Every structure is written in structure tokens, then in C-alpha cells.
Amino acid sequence: MPTKLSPIPLLVLRRLGIGLLTLLIVSAVIFWAVELLPGDIATEVLGQSASPETIAAFKEQFGLTDPPMTRYLAWLGNAVQGDFGLSLANRRPIADLISDRAFNTFFLAGYAAAIAVPLSVGLGLLAALYRGGLLDRWISGTTLTVISFPEFFVAYILILLFSVQLGWFPSLANVTPDMTLADRLHTAFLPALTMVLIVAAHMMRMTRAAIVNLLALPYIEMAELKGMKAWRVIAIHALPNAVAPIVTVIALNLAYLIVGVVLVEVVFVYPGLGQLLVDSVAKRDMPVVQAACLIFAATYILLNLVADLIGIASNPRLLHPR
């Protein structure tokens, strides 16, 4: 009798296909959105005093006279190979231009995630353990208060407290490649803390909600009736079954840490991909804008894909089909 195959490989392939299709659609949206922006890129880069011959030569050099569909297909084919073309502003390869900036952005997001994830999960477990009590209300109220403010407001408050008044951290997070890890962590602490305060509330509340919903199930009540301590019930019986929703919300917030870093980088003048994106928009350096947006979109889609796969792998009905 043939063995029934697990549905997990099929679901994984389906999710991968959806992720690639989504990225393809997003790449088209990014390219055509930039195409629809008003103004002439060549005039913006060369200046108003440039002659028509110079502008025509510039457009010819960078292929701006080709039909939009031709340029999109060429850009997409090169981007798949890691070649984003040349920057219009400084004529440097975009891959070289964004490599250090992308590292700084991912470092900052990883720094914030290393603080936010254990902090949020821990606070969520504490709130669930003492649900309805003073600690639960204090944690929920504090996190909701923080998440109610926009990122720039939280950033300026942190600068006022920890930089201007206390002088513990610099107000400008100007990291350099030759910095030691300790100096980099110290310099980037305020932008990382800003991002932690923004995303921690959502992860904490989802963790609490997932645990509290499981605590009402019969097998949890049976464990409590057997005299098992509350923290053991949550850690051993409730938490493993709450992995899927918790991981999903963590992945979504990690994606936000990457994509939502733009405003934080601008406030702290942090030399990351978000700051480069804003500077490139101001300079009308559209190839750099397209490359940065595509990297942000690919990271967001990838993290959502990882969340889906972890949710699939943690589903007992898929791991042990009948």
C-alpha cells in the first residue's frame, strides 16, 4: 500500500511560488511608480543650465530613451543577477553604493530585534501569567501608550532624555566601518531603542492573547487540576502550541523593523539604506531608489514567507496526517 505523502512540501512550494510572484508584481509597481514621477531625471541631475545636447547624451548613455517596457525587463534581468546598474548622481555601481548602507540597516534591525523579541515575549508571558492583575494592566497600558506615538516623536523624546539631558548616548548615530562592535552598539542604541518601543507592544499583546486563549482549553485545565504550577503550565503546555501566531507576529514586526527603519534613520542621520533612499529621492537618483525599494520589498516578503513556513511546520495536523 503506497504511503501517503505529507502535504508540507506541497504547501512550501506553493508559498515559495506565491512569494516569487508577489516580488515580481512589486518590482513592476516600483519601476512604473518611479516612471510616473513628474520631472526630468536628466535635467535634475545635470542642472537647469545643461544644454539639450548634454541632456540627450546623458539619456542615451543610461538608456533613458529606450521604451519603458524594454528598460523594465533589462532592469529586472540585471537585478536578478545582483546588478542594479549605475547611480545617476555619482556614476558609481549601485551594488557598491548600497552594500555598506544595507549592512548598517540590517545591523540596526537585528540589534533592535535582539532586544525586542525576548523582551516582548517575556512581557507577554508575564501578562498572561498574572492576567487581570496589576502587573498585566501596567504592562498593557505602558506598551499601548508607547505604540500610540509616531516613531519620530519617540525618537525625539529619547534624544531629549538620553542625549541632551543625561548625555549617555549621541544624538546622531554616525556609525563608520572602522568602529568596534562595542562602539557601534553604543552609537546605534537610541535608534534601536526607538524601534524596540514601537514594535514591542504588538508582539507582547499577540503573545499574551495567544497564551490566554490556550489557557481556557480542557487540557490546560487538566494540567492545572493536577497541581502543576502556573508558570510550568504556560511554559510546557501553552507556549509550544502558541508558536505559530507568536512567530507570525514576530516575523511581521521584523519585516517592519527593516521597512520602517527609514524614518528612524532620517531622525538620527544613521547611514543606512533608508537614509540613502531619502537622499536619492531628493537627488532624483531613481535607479538607487528602485534598488533600495526592491531590497526592502524582498526582505518583507521573505520574512513573511518564513513566518508562513514556520506556521506550517508547527501545525500538528500537517506533521502527522491521518
The domain limits of the chain are 94-319
Residues in CB range of 111: below 8 A, 6 or more apart: 185, 188, 192
Q: Specify the fold of 94-319.
A: MetI-like fold (1.10.3720)
Q: What are the grid coordinates assigned to 271, written together?
A: 547611514
pLDDT higher at 240 or 140: 140
Torsion of CA 249, 250, 251, 256, to 10 degrees: 90
H or E segment at 152? Answer: helix 151-158
Q: How far is CA 85 from CA 40, 99, 244, 260, 312, in A?
A: 19, 14, 40, 25, 38
Say if residues 272 and 264 touch (Cβ distance below 8 Å): no
Q: Is the pLDDT of residue 282 over 70?
A: yes
6-15, 31-40, 313-322: range with lowest mean pLDDT: 313-322
101 pLDDT tier (thresholds 50, 70, 90): confident
Q: What are the grid coordinates assigned to 182, written together?
A: 562595542
Residues in CB range of 206: below 8 A, 6 or more apart: 124, 245, 246, 249
1 pLDDT tier (thresholds 50, 70, 90): very low
Helix (H), strand (E) counts: the chain? 17, 0
pLDDT of residue 102: 83
Say if residues 208 and 144 touch (Cβ distance below 8 Å): no
Which amino acid type is present at position 262?
A: V
